[in-house]
Each structure stands twice: as C-alpha cells, then as structure tokens.
Chain A
Amino acid sequence: MAAILKVEQLSMQYTSGQRQLSVLQDINISIEEGETVAITGPSGSGKTTLMGLCAALDNPTSGQITLLGTVVNPLTEDQRAILRNKHIGFIFQNFQLLPSLTALENVMLPLELQGIKGAEAEAERLLERVGLKDRMTHYPTQLSGGEQQRVALARAFINKPKILFADEPTGNLDGDTGATVESLMFDLNKDYGTTLIIVTHNPDLASRTGRIIKLRSGHIVSDLKNDPATAIN
C-alpha cells in the first residue's frame, strides 16, 4: 500500500528569548493509507507539534513532509489551505466549534468552503449519524461537551477526508461520553476508510489503533504495530 504521509529527517526548533528550543529532532515516519496510528508520549514530548507539521499547519525547521504524494514544505499558505480543506479532517480536544454558528452550520463549513452545493443535506445526514438530529439548530453554548465533540466529528468527516488528525479527542470528556465519542470516531473512520492519526495520553485510546508511536523529548522512542482486537473496550 502507498504511503499517505511520509516524514523524513524532520526537526523543529523554536526561539524562546535568546534560547533555541529543540522540540523535534530527526523524525522519520511513513504512514500508509487506511492505517490507524496513535502518537503518545509525556507532556512536552512534541506530539502536538508533530501533528501540526504533519497536517500542514506549520513549516518544519528542517526535513521534508510528503502528504498524499505532495511535498508540503514548498507549498504556499493558500495551497496548504486547499490541501487541508479537501483531504484532511481535524478533531480537537477543546472541540473548536465556531460559537456563532449552529451545529448544522459548523458541520457544513468545510464543504461550503469548497463551494459545494448540497452541503446542508450531507451535514444533516452526518448529524443524524452522530445522534444529534434534534440539536441541529443549537449553538455550541447550548450543547454539552460530548454533543459538541460529536458535532466536531460530523464536521471532520463531511469532506470525506483521506486523513484525519485527532488531538486528544476525548481529553475533555468524562469516561462514558468519551467512550461514546471514541466509538463513533472509529466507526466513521471505518465507514469512510480514512487514515487516522490520534495524539493522546490515553493508553486505552491508543490501544484501539493499529500502530503506536511513542515520543520522548522530541525523539521517537518506539514505533510498534498494535492489534486493536486485543484492546480493552
């Protein structure tokens, strides 16, 4: 199977005052289409930075990222925006819904950005799929945390992304709600055949993926295949 994401010799440094802060060093990863991958590690290990770089949200200090066969580094911000909009889905720990849009409008947004007609019907279908048929016209502040994350899930899948990045998707939810969202995410992932990359602290969530990459102090310390069938649900 072809690699949907290829990271080569990747390093990332930030300048903090007078000091150079090395967040990632010499990272090499190759992820194939349809894979489910968990990136884990302690706080400050560089997980989120790595995800941001892989999702074309930022430029590395050095190294190369190839996403869907396209080298991301030389792309302009507009070209990256188009790439994200057409092929990438996002789920965030703090849901990141636009407070001024209803649940339905939030879900429609990625398709509307592409200028696709009929976004509303697709968004309604997806909201129904995540169990929010009756909450479509509600604003984020009128929804519980679990409901907000389900809206975010619907939004993430509406553009049928090739690759989905999830940043601690259950980090802000209680156990039961988190489990519901988790199941929905994996079900949708399966239905849409999406490549899934999850950044998480949660070992249970990580164990439901097919591959676990562990980071420590900006280095990959392990990159192991995992059998999700053995995961405790």
Chain B
Amino acid sequence: MSNFSFLIQTAYRDSRKNRSKLVLFMSSIVLGVAALVAINSFNYNLRNEIDKEAATLLGADLAASGNRPAEAGILRVLDSLPAERAREMEMLSMAYIPKTDESQFVRLKALEGNFPFYGKIKAEPAEAATTFRSGPFALVDRGLMLQHGLQSGDSIRIGKMMFMIQGKLDGSVGSVGMASAVAPAIYINLTSLDSTGLVQPGSLINYAYYYKVPEGFNIEKWKKDRKSLFKSDQLRVETVESRKENLNKAFSFLNYFLNLVAIVALLLGCIGVASSVMIYVRSKTNSIALLRCLGMKPMDAFLVYFIQIVALGLIGVIMGVLTGVLIQSALPVILKDFIPVTVNNALSPKAISEGFFLGISVTTLFALLPLVSIRNISPLRTLRVETEASSGAFDYLKTGILVIIGIVLIGFLWLLTSSFLTSLAFVAGIIVSYLILSGLSSLIITMLRKSIPSNAGFVTRQGLSNLFRPDNQTQTIMVTIGMGTAVLTTLMILQSLLLNNVSMMDAGKQPNMILYGIETNQMDDLKKLTLASGLPVIQEVPVVTMKIDGWKGRTKAQWLADSLMTAERWAVNREARVSYRDTISDDEKLVSGKLRKYNNEGDSIFVSLGTTFADAMDAEIGDEIVFNVQGTRIVTYVGSLREIEFRNLSTRFFIIFPTGVLEKAPQFQVVVTKTPDNSTMSKYRTEVVKAFPNVSVVDLTTILQSVNDILKKVSFVIRFMAIFSLLTGMIVLISSLLLSKYQRLKESILLRTIGATRSQIIKINATEYAFLGFLSAGTGVFIAVLSSFLVTKFQLKLDYQIAWWPVVGIIVGIVTITVVIGMLNSRDIVSSPPLEVLRKEGS
C-alpha cells in the first residue's frame, strides 16, 4: 500500500459530494441493526426476568395442579412437606351483574391461604388483594369493571351467591394478559365457593395446591425422590426450577420467531446495502478509471471506496444500535399480553455488542460483493474505449465472500439458538425464500419485457422500458417490498379466514349457544324458560364424568409402570365427560363397527369411541376398557368408532355409552339452542343466569370475540415486525431511485430536448413507479395467497376463502406509496430547466 493516510484522505474527498446519496445506504443498515438490537435486547431481558422472577411466577416453592382433586395418598405426601399451604380452585362460570342486569362469562379463582407466597396479586386499592379473602368479597378484573361501569362496593353474583366487589384486579400470579381476552378473572375466597353451588359432579375445575417451604429446604431433591409417585397421577407438580425450564421452553418459540424477524430485517437491509453500493460503484467507474490512469494501484483504488463504505457502514451500525435501544423500550409494551413478567428495558451489552459486530461484519461483507468489481475497472475507460471485460468467468473472490457471509450467519445463529442444525435450517430457509422471491420476480420481469405491447402508447412503453434500463433495481425492490407484502398479506388472509370459519358456525340452523352444568332437576324449568323465550331446544344431553381404570386386561397402574405403553397419557389420565345415546349425531360419521344397544342387565356394554381418542388409547373394536364412574367399576368393550366433525358449536363426546347403563349415575345436563340475534342471546343469557346461577352459558359471540381479540394481538406483533421488512423495501426503492437519478435525468433531458412535455415526463415516471409498485405488491400477494392456501388446507384443514377487497387495498396502498416516493424523488428532474439540471448533476 502506497500511503494509507493518502487513501483515507482521497476516500474522504471522494465521498464529499456523495454523502447525501449514501444516507439511504446507511438507512438500510440502521433498520437492520436496529431490529436486531431491539429484538435481542428484549429477548435477553425476558430471559433474565424469567430467571429472576421464577419464584414470583409460580407464587410458591411447589405447586401441584390437576383437573380433579388430588388423590388422598398423593395429598398426604404433599401435606407431609414442612411448609405453609394454600389451595386454589379455578373454573369457568357465569357472573351476573345486578347493576346493569347483564351476565358475563368469567374465570373464577377461589383461594384459600396466603397464596401467592412470592410476588403479589396486583389490585387497586392494594389492600383489596388481602381483604377479599375475609368474607363474601370479590376482586374483579379491571377490564370487566370498566366494561360494566362497576365500582368497589358494587355487587356481583356468582352462582347462587352475591359478592361485594373489593377492588380492581390488575394481574394475577403467573397469568398472561391474553387469558383475560378469553374470560376475565374474579378472585373469591375458597370457603365461599361451596355456597355458590357451582361445584357439582362433572364441573370443570382446576385444583391447585401450593406450598412454601422453609429456607434451606431442598425442594428439588424432595420432588426428585418422589418422581415416580407424581408421574403416575395426572397431577402436574412444579417447582421454581421446573417452572423456569417450562417457561424458557415455552418462550423458545417466541425467541426463534423474533430472531428470524431480526435476521430477515438485517438481511433485507444488507440487500439494500449491496444494491446501493453496486450502483454507487458504477457511478464512480470513470473516477476509478482515472485514478488508475494516473497511477493508482488496483488495490489502492479498491481501498479508497472500501474505506468510504466501511466508515459510513460504521456510522450506520452505531445509529442502528442507538435506534435499536430506543425501539427495544417499546417491545415490552407491545408484547405485554404474551408474557407473564414485566420486562424492563435495561440496556443489554450482549445484544448491543452482537448487533454491532454482526452489523459491521455483514454490512462489510455485503458491500464487498459489488466493491471487489473495482479491481476489474480498466484505466482504458478514460479514453472513450468501451473495454468492460465481462468475461462471465467464475469469480472465486465473490463466491468466497458469499461463503463467508453464510458462515458468519450460521455462526451467529448458532450463538443465539445453541443449535447448529437449527441455524443451518434457518439460513437455508432464508436462502430458499430469497431464491423463490427473486426467481419469481425475474420470471415476471422477463414475461413483462417480452409482452410490452407495441401498440401501447409512448408513455406506457417508455415507462415500462424504464424497468429494464441498465443498473435497474427492479428485482431487488420486488424482493424486498414483496417480502414485506407477503408477510402482511398472509397474516391478514389467515386472520380473516379463521374469523370467517368461526362465524360460519352461526350459519343457518346451526346452534350458537350451549348451556352446561344443569342439574337434572332443573331441566324442566330451564326448557320452559328457553321455549318461553322463543328459542328451540336443539339438543339436551346428559353428561357423566368418569375415569379410566384399565384397558386390554391390565389396570391403569400396570400400564403406567410399563415403559412400552402405547396409549398417550392425556387420554389415559383425563377425567372423561361421557354421554349416552343409541344414535349417531349429525356431526358424526360411523367409520367402524356399529352402535350396539344395551338390552338386559348382564349384557356386555359396547361403547363408541371418537377416532382421535381411540388412536390416543391405541384401542380397536372389541378391546376392553374399564371405567370408574364415581367409585363404580364398569367393564365395557369398544363397539364402534366415530369420526367427529368440529365445525359447529355443539356437544361432542369422545366416549358414548348405550342407554340403560348410566341413567342412575350422578350427572348433569347440557342444553343446546339457537338464538336469532345478539340482543336475544344477551337477554336470554341473563335470564338463565338469574334463574339458574349454577348454569354456565357459552355463546358464539363470546367465542368469536375472544378469537378475534387473540388474533388481533398476535397479528399486531407480527405486523410490527413485518413493517421492518416493508420499510427496508421502501429505503431500497428510494436509494435506487436516488442513485439512478443521473441516468433518469439524462433520459428526461433528452426527451425534453426533443420535445417531450413536462406532463409526458411525469406520466412516464408515474407509469414506471406504478408498475414497480404493482409488480412488487403483486409478487408478495401471490406468495401470500399461495402460502395461506397451503396453511389453510394442510395445517388448519379449513375451507379456503379470501376477502379480495382488503388484498386489493394492500396492492393499491403499496402502488400509491411507491408512486409518491418515486415522484417526490424525481420532482427536480421535471421542474428544473434541462441545462441547469445537467450542470448541477453532471460532471
């Protein structure tokens, strides 16, 4: 190297008049690095918080929970712990609000003891978190109180009992905001629960037992020593450590997703970097040729531009890190509904240094791809001789750089995910997505080029031809904007598709309301009330709860001890809700065997199983299954298998007994009806809850609302991330427009010189940008339609329908933005006199 300080000085001088052109090049880096730093900072803070808050999340040193009370033996073992104890029963139920004469589906949490032992129930006023435990009081979800205009001191009826509201509930232990979208929570004390009359045989209740051990007690060891005992029951036993593990597992998906978004944003930024540097180098070809002509060595000429790019890249990366730190403070707010802890926005040195080093290395590597072509610029270019040797030979240097980029990315992902295979799959996935998008773009461009109609007007032909001018960035823009559009549109299609499918349940004569938990002696009155409200009783179904005691000649305990057991634990351990009838319902299809009646006492009992449950039990026709119906053992045989459809709101049972067996067993009833509209539904629901406080009502409007709320929150997060991709696309668009401005300028000046009017030039430019926007958005929408179709058909197994208007809206929106950005960028091309522009821009 001749003189490094001279090279730096030349680099500085050369960049002097071009820095504004490279601002957008830096913006690509800023966006990519900002996304990476923000997301990783959030990730690391979340992990730290989970580690730190694990005890608070569990609220105890040990928690055991299940959907039926712990068996006496297990409870004895748990209670042998030298610990402070607490108990909780949680169920979904209806609440009646006298103040507004309305009813509400709620999650009822009945508490006994000083739970949580760690952390606290957040309430306003704070003392309400304690006072509700001392009598018939309730702590009610803030959202529910707001919705119904409730205040502390107002009443709320749950089941048969009236509670006085003590305060607003802002967050229960370990729960996520998303849960309140399904059913807002209400805390009461456990002793009041019995008086509500909601606890009946068959009620869906979650039982939890909490223990706080003295300091120094090794709860992990205690649990480990009793591992086999806890394993054999359906009770889930968690300690702080296992909760931490479970949470980290649960959030690893969120981590992967966020990492993917960050890497994609960074890579899109890098595509922007590579394309802007390529155009920058091309615009500098004459200067480089002259420097070479005056005696600069090829390596020094390369270094002059390399120094410029690295310096600007460095500034871009630093700005990206700073922006990332700012964005990071917004992420905990956006994601708060998905996480059970409050994530702070502390600076994460790890995320910052990772963002910095990955940003600088990837930016440099991507910039190197076009920069290395400087070594091929001949000094002969100064002499008007067109000597560009595009040999088409294999470029080892460029290939080497691409390989290094791959290695750096895999290495970084490996660091993030701790899994080499995942990192490899990640990078492969990104490459494949890019190839598909760029292949598709290339195909569309080729097709369009061949099909420009010769009889189209001059403006259209010229505008279209501009898409294929030398140094065009059509494909890069199509890839970046297309990717953002694809993500956004896929989300939108899937969201509306899921909602449509749920609302379709309401179509025609399909039921839209289920009432459950009805005592047998309430049935007549309830039916009367229903019919008096003008509603039909579509189904009345008895439900008996039971457990499985054994199957295929062995007891459950024997099976559970056998490591070769083929049945799945969820099927074996569940408390089954069973009905009895001798017919197949409209939602079912008999696929094997037949429904066999039970005629006389002593006959074999043949049950009918749903295919999903039969598969999980590994049961076939003729297999023996022994049920325990609240203490009574009943031996049955599999008589038939049914395929059950889940499209409509209706009662469905994995296990159906024949009539004549369970009639005398303790049971509750379910009634299915159909309301014509929301106001009738709301009025009827309130009347039912008033007259039959123990009855729960699930209606389609509530489900639809919950699904909508959840989808809205999920898609908002994904949308927030997709915006990065779209912004990068727009930046690539702006930078390529700016950098190819001189070329456009020369064309426009020539056209104006030979007589084109200002409006013709504007139309030509607008046509070009409109096509560019349309092709980009169209490619994205095409991919979105294809991917959402595949997901719907093969993953969700639903009918595929698209609401086309919003899709058209997306295309129109992107075309408009592209045209506006394009026209703003070229306004001085059309508004200044040709000579003035030429003098200013030319050299």
Which A residues have a C-beta under 8 Å from some C-beta of B?
Answer: 48-49, 51-52, 57-58, 77-78, 81-86, 88, 90, 92-94, 96-101, 105, 109-110, 112-115, 139-141, 155, 167
Contacts and interface: CB of A to CB of B under 8 A. Distances in A.
B754 interface: no
Contacts of A155: 294
B6 A113 contact: yes
17 contacts: A49-B385, A52-B385, A78-B299, A82-B295, A84-B295, A86-B295, A90-B294, A96-B286, A96-B382, A99-B17, A100-B17, A100-B287, A109-B291, A112-B6, A113-B294, A115-B6, A141-B839
Interface string B272-309: 00000000000000110011111111110000000000
A26 B438 CA distance: 50
Contacts, number: 96
Contact of B15 (A49, A57, A100): A100
Contacts of A98: 14, 287, 290-291
Given A57-B383, A141-B840, A109 B17 contact: no
B3 interface: yes
Closest 5 CB pairs of A and B: A85-B295, A99-B843, A84-B295, A115-B3, A100-B17
B842 interface: yes
B295 A81 contact: yes
Contacts of B10: 109, 112
A145 B150 CA distance: 83
Interface string B375-386: 000111011110
Given A52-B383, A92-B382, A99-B17, A141 B287 contact: no
A86 B291 CA distance: 14
Main secondary structure of the interface of A (DSSP, over half): helix
Contacts of A97: 843
B3 A58 contact: no
B604 interface: no
Contacts of A51: 383
Given A96-B382, A98-B290, A58 B295 contact: no
Given A52-B385, A78-B298, A167-B383, A57 B14 contact: no
B843 A57 contact: no
Given A77-B298, A109-B294, A110-B295, A57 B842 contact: no
Interface in B714-763: none
Contacts of B293: 57, 84, 90, 96
B218 to A, nearest CB: 72
B419 interface: no
Interface of B: 2-3, 6, 9-10, 13-18, 286-287, 290-299, 378-380, 382-385, 387, 839-840, 842-843
A78 B839 contact: no
Contacts of B843: 97, 99, 140-141
A100 B15 CA distance: 7
Given A99-B17, A109-B10, A141-B842, 16 more contacts: A52-B385, A58-B378, A58-B387, A78-B299, A81-B295, A83-B295, A85-B296, A96-B286, A96-B293, A98-B291, A100-B15, A101-B13, A101-B14, A112-B9, A112-B10, A115-B3
A90 B385 contact: no
A51 B378 CA distance: 15
A50 B68 CA distance: 97
A78 B286 CA distance: 19
Nearest to B384: A48
A58 B380 contact: yes
B383 A113 contact: no
A40 B524 CA distance: 116
Nearest to A156: B294
A82 to B, nearest CB: 7
A101 B13 CA distance: 6
A54 B292 CA distance: 16
Nearest to A148: B843
Contacts of B15: 100
Contacts of A77: 297-298
A50 to B, nearest CB: 10
Contact of B16 (A82, A83, A100, A110): A100
